Amino acid sequence: MKTSPAVHRLRLVSGPEGLSFLLLLVCSVLKRTTSFNAVPVMGTVHGVLFILYLVFLALAWQQQRWDAKRGVLLFVLSVLPTGGFFAERMLAREERGEVPAAPVAA
């Protein structure tokens, strides 16, 4: 099955979303240990990227007709600090055809 543009967009947003999560965690630590407070800015950036990730995940899930296991895995990766990087790698390999596309629900 050919991957959809929604899968490509999901792949493109997953890396920056993962990076923004890590930066938000660093900013949270810095806020509590120093006078530096970038949490409001990084929180907004991460929030926008996370919402985009969820929208693109829903679109890709619908267009590719992934089974629940695949969709839930990609959602769980979005809430783990480095999960976005694993999602990006998994989706990139699928786009390049290195691995077969995820199974389609019946």
Give me the residue spans of the domains in the chain: 5-96
Nearest to 76 by CA among 66, 67, 86, 89: 86
> Residue 100 — pLDDT band, cuts 50, 70, 90?
low
Mean pLDDT along residues 16-41: 95
Q: State the pLDDT at residue 53.
A: 96
Q: State the pLDDT at residue 103.
A: 57
pTM: 0.85
Residue 22 pLDDT > 90: yes
- Residues 56-93 have pLDDT tens digits of 999 999 998 889 999 999 999 999 989 999 999 999 98
Name which residue leads in pLDDT, 12 or 96.
Answer: 12
Mean pLDDT along residues 35-42: 94
Q: State the pLDDT at residue 101.
A: 58
- Average model confidence (pLDDT) for the chain? 89
Reduced to 3 states (helix: H, G, I; strand: E, B; else coil), residue 104 is: strand
